[in-house]
Copies of this chain bind each other. A is one copy, B any other.
Amino acid sequence: MKMQAETPGIMASLGQAARNAAHQLSLASTEAKNLAILEAARNIRARTAEILEANARDMAAARQSGESGAFLDRLALDASRVEAMAKGLEAIAALPDPVGRRLAAYERPNGLSIERIATPLGVIGVIFESRPAVTADAGALCLKAGNAAILRAGSECAFSSRAIHDCLTAGLEAAGLPAAAIGLVPVKDRAAVGLMLAGLDGNLDVIVPRGGKSLVARVQAEAHVPVFAHLEGLVHVVIDRDADLEKAKKIVHNAKMRRTGICGAAETLLVDQACAPTHLAPLVKMLIDAGCEVRGDAETGAADPRVKEASEQDWRTEYLDSIISVRVVKNLDEAIAHIEKYGSHHTDCIVTENANAAERFLKEVDSAIVMHNASTQFADGGEFGFGAEIGIATGRMHARGPVGLEQLTTFKYRVHGDGQTRS
């Protein structure tokens, strides 16, 4: 590990090397990019033992620091997780190349032909914490979209990330692509993150934070380059007065309980008072029976004695756990107003058999993903058919919702003329 005094120089070199590599990558063939990714996958399989050994060192250090079970689970690799990483890379190689897509093409009255063509974004910084597999999937997604990447792994997974990164480097070299196309910050020094947030002298075009709320909040607050951030998923399910109860139970159960720790998991249930007499108690019972703690308003409390009282803070909380807040609302207007006030513009859903109510909800709720009669756990790049994603953006610029390969590109205008001049 290097001395802190060396950090600025190391980071500047990393940025410059990535910029140079990005230029070469933007012109690389689909075949070369796919070969690099497939060779990386092959290397990851071949070096499973090394990767697991490196991971064991990270795990030992984490245990020594007294890290918790959830932390250790994010950090841990085993043979099947390494195999899943290799398979993930193969899936990315199999996706269509997003670079060069013709997004628009038209001819002007003066005969100029104008095309809008997808091009890589440039250099993408990825700052993540304790999941070593991000090294492989973020690196490969950036590469497939013709971008250079600078990866900054949390110090807790430094050995694992380094071992995985070695496989990516070997893949790039086998394909004749510059090794600097996927850079890994080689210092533990936290000042490296600050230098990335400052943009590495113009050599970073966008930053993707992948980690907990405090990391994402710091990146959003301090970054001087654009950020694809997803701060949190404060996801609502609205049970409209015209909801089918059985459908509602099935959707709510899945939206809350399938996996409670993902950003598309439901956190708040809003029930229209017009259907509360028939729908509220069965929904609450189903949730509690499934092992979910329910924190509700007075009407919800009246529906089941096991309901705990919700505080104002509950409407603002992304539990990421087997807990849900439940509130009865006067009507659809009040449901939409609640979401506008407390939501995080990630994913929100209405359950209803009334097409007009659904249309109003989908139109008026200002979230990246608005759903009708489907589980919010579908908020996922894979489920959207993107093949893979680097995260789900809750910002409004450039990428919104799942950030897949297409969202990792920008575009240019190509204009062909035959000597036209402007009058």
Q: How far is the CB of A246 from chain B (nearest CB, A)?
A: 8
Residues of B within 8 A of A102 (CB): none
Asked whether, in the complex, the Cβ of A374 is within 8 Å of the Cβ of B254, the reply is no
A383 to B423, CA, bound (A): 11
A27-B364, A413-B401 are contacts. A375–B247 as well, Cβ < 8 Å? no
A418 to B246, CA, bound (A): 12
At the interface, yes or no: A2 with Cβ under 8 Å from chain B? Answer: no
Q: Of B251, B253, B400, which contacts A411 at CB under 8 A?
A: B400
A251-B421, A422-B377 are contacts. A397–B410 as well, Cβ < 8 Å? yes
Q: Which of A359-409 contact B (CB under 8 A)?
A: 362-364, 366-375, 377-378, 380, 383-385, 396-398, 400-401
Q: Of B119, B224, B368, B412, which contacts A412 at CB under 8 A?
A: B368
Asked whether, in the complex, the Cβ of A114 is within 8 Å of the Cβ of B384, the reply is yes
Chain B proximity mask over A85-128: 1 for CB below 8 Å, otherwise 0: 00000000000000000000010100010100001011000000
Asked whether, in the complex, the Cβ of A396 is within 8 Å of the Cβ of B114, the reply is no
A400 to B121, CA, bound (A): 11
Q: Which of A243-293 contact B (CB under 8 A)?
A: 244, 247, 250-251, 253-255, 258
Residues of B within 8 A of A106 (CB): 385
Q: Name the CB-closest residue of B to A111.
A: B374
A106-B385, A378-B112 are contacts. A367–B420 as well, Cβ < 8 Å? no
Q: Of B255, B363, B396, which contacts A410 at CB under 8 A?
A: B396
Q: How far is the CB of A126 from chain B (nearest CB, A)?
A: 16
A205-B396, A367-B412, A413-B368 are contacts. A418–B373 as well, Cβ < 8 Å? yes
Chain B proximity mask over A328-367: 1 for CB below 8 Å, otherwise 0: 0000000000001000000000000000001000111011
Residues of B within 8 A of A372 (CB): 414-417
A27-B364, A114-B384, A398-B398 are contacts. A378–B422 as well, Cβ < 8 Å? yes
Q: Name the CB-closest residue of B to A345.
A: B412
Residues of B within 8 A of A370 (CB): 412-415
Asked whether, in the complex, the Cβ of A112 is within 8 Å of the Cβ of B374, the reply is yes
Q: Name the CB-closest residue of B to A361.
A: B414
At the interface, yes or no: A155 with Cβ under 8 Å from chain B? Answer: no
A328 to B410, CA, bound (A): 32
At the interface, yes or no: A206 with Cβ under 8 Å from chain B? Answer: yes
At the interface, yes or no: A9 with Cβ under 8 Å from chain B? Answer: no
Asked whether, in the complex, the Cβ of A375 is within 8 Å of the Cβ of B421, the reply is yes
At the interface, yes or no: A16 with Cβ under 8 Å from chain B? Answer: no
Q: Name the CB-closest residue of B to A227.
A: B226
Residues of B within 8 A of A30 (CB): none
At the interface, yes or no: A419 with Cβ under 8 Å from chain B? Answer: yes
Give me 20 other A-B pairs in contact (C-beta within 8 A), A250-B419, A250-B421, A374-B415 excluded.
A23-B366, A108-B385, A114-B384, A221-B224, A251-B419, A253-B421, A255-B421, A367-B412, A370-B412, A370-B413, A371-B417, A374-B418, A374-B420, A375-B417, A375-B420, A378-B420, A396-B410, A397-B398, A400-B412, A401-B412
Residues on A facing B (Cβ under 8 Å): 23, 26-27, 106, 108, 112, 114, 119, 121-122, 205-206, 221, 224, 226, 244, 247, 250-251, 253-255, 258, 340, 358, 362-364, 366-375, 377-378, 380, 383-385, 396-398, 400-401, 410-422
12 contacts across the A-B interface (CB closer than 8 A): A26-B366, A27-B364, A121-B396, A205-B397, A244-B419, A251-B419, A255-B421, A358-B416, A366-B412, A370-B412, A371-B414, A372-B414
